[in-house]
Amino acid sequence: MALAEIGDKTQLLSLLLAARYRRPWPIIAGIAVATVLNHALATAVGALLAQWLDPQVLRWLVGLAFLAMALWALHADHLDEGKVAGASHLGVFGLTVIVFFLAEMGDKTQLATVALAARFDEAALAVVAGTTLGMLLANAPVVFAGHWLLQRLPMIWIRRLAALAFAVLGILVLLAPGGAGG
């Protein structure tokens, strides 16, 4: 999940918040809360899909979703800086929770969470914990040293590595014997 986040709009949002407010701990705490909430919602959707769909159909949907995310990972996200309002009465933490939660809606990491939850519906807590940890591993360094990191990392190769990881996951799911859980 951390690789998928490199160059993502939420990582760009982390950089923008860090540059604007220079308060890393409330920003990281806000990212953590927003991610747990967002990925818990995504995990619930994935678990429902696992219950409602035939295991073979679910396996194909999950596999194809990972392949689609592989293609999506190759596309660089952009963030409209004008959409991030001032901290106003919310404070840096509250602002981060709200804008990060909204930025994550429909994002490839949220969709990957849905796919993982559908595949591993018996391990919902592990899915939320793992995807949240991945988001924090990708975004916390940006908050602390974003400008320095972004000048030195070859973004195209990191996006390609993330795409490869999603493609391998998709192929493994499609080739796995049995249903989505097996």
Confidence band for 28, pLDDT divided at 50, 70 and 90:
very high
For the CA atoms of 4, 5, 9, 12, what is the dihedral angle to 10 degrees?
-140
* SS percent in the chain: helix, strand, coil, step 5: 80, 0, 20
Mean pLDDT of 20-44: 90
Spatial separation of the C-alpha atoms in residues 47 and 52, rounded to whole Å: 9
pLDDT 10s digits, 154-169? 667 766 766 787 688 7
Lowest mean pLDDT among 52-66, 111-125, 167-181: 167-181
pLDDT 10s digits, 97-150? 988 888 787 777 888 888 888 888 788 899 999 999 988 998 898 888 765 655
* Arithmetic mean of pLDDT over the chain: 76
What's the full length of the chain, in residues? Answer: 182
pLDDT 10s digits, 6-26? 556 677 778 777 877 778 899
Q: How far apart are the first and last CA of the chain?
A: 22
Burial tier of 100 (Cβ tally within 10 Å: 0-12, 13-18, 19+):
buried
Mean pLDDT of 45-53: 82
